[in-house]
Amino acid sequence: MITDIAASTSRGLKTTFIGQKVIYYPALPSTMDAARQAVRQGAADGTVIIAGEQTAGKGRLKRAWLSPPGSIALSIVLYPGLSVLPYLVMIASLAAVYAIEKAADVKAQIKWPNDILVDGKKAGGILIENEVRGDKVDFSIIGIGINVDLDVTAHPEISSIATSLKSQRKDLGVRIIRSLLIEFERLYIKLPDGKTIFEDWRDRLVTLGKKVKATSGRQVTEGTAESVDQSGALYIRGADGKLTKVVAGDVTLKGE
Ligand code: BTN
């Protein structure tokens, strides 16, 4: 069974390196830590760690991430160059959106910087951990979580903001993962030219043109989300006309 899931993910997968090696665990604290462990053991570029369930899933900004059985929880090991780092989040969120649309046949969007939305609610998220020394990247771990069969009503802490793809099809999870890995590699090998990736990511952002509240550490910025730049930063125009650059953090769309 265990090898079945790893094998059915990578069998005949039309990629050259992403997902050619898949390691599946029925349950893990977090695929992020298992991926670090795999790196220490010499994991090849593109190795994918998948968990059937995470008991201590990690979200952005040190939040917890729920991933009971039925959810997609995976991490991809990469050894990229430094100039590639700003694009990883764009590639991961675009790959997740394309995979959900292809495999689940629903429309998906991105909320800055990398929340995956379906019907305006969060259906997935991306967590990236980079290990950088000087101007050299030792490794990057791209964590992707997608709610597939998650009963959000059973989790009051997320029930108003989250959603799940909830499918009748038993193999939807594997189909999304396979599509995700193909899309990820297709976008990744376009680099170092990230221009089209940036433009595609920008065009999928539900955030632009909306009234938003951005929280970055203790700094709160309110206004209209005006634009993003190639580093991924968001520019918000306040009511006083001042333009503020937000590099990282969380955004709430007004009315949410
Ligand atoms: C977010 O806060 O939106 C990011 C969520 C990222 C969750 C994924 S699930 C696979 C990987 N392992 C983790 O522990 N977290 C990421």
Which are the contacts of 95, defined by CB distance < 8 A and separation ≥ 6?
144, 180, 181, 183, 184, 187
44-53, 87-96, 191-200, 232-241: lowest mean pLDDT where?
191-200
CA distance 131 to 215: 25
Q: Please choose from 50, 122, 127, 180 the residue to mutate so as to test ligand 1's pocket, defined by most ligand atoms within 8 A of CB.
A: 127
pTM of the predicted model as reported, rounded to 2 decimal places: 0.94
pLDDT score of 3 more than 80 = no
Mean pLDDT in residue range 22-50: 97
Starting at the edge strand found earlier in the chain, the sheet holding 211-216 runs 243-246, 234-237, 219-228, 211-216, 250-253
Identify the band that residue 168 occupies on the pLDDT scale cut at 50, 70 and 90: low
Atom of ligand 1 at shortest distance to CA of 31?
Answer: 12
Q: Please choose from 63, 115, 117, 144 the residue to mutate so as to test ligand 1's pocket, defined by most ligand atoms within 8 A of CB.
A: 144
Taking CA atoms only, the protein residue closest to ligand 1 atom 7 is 145
Which are the contacts of 1, defined by CB distance < 8 A and separation ≥ 6?
none
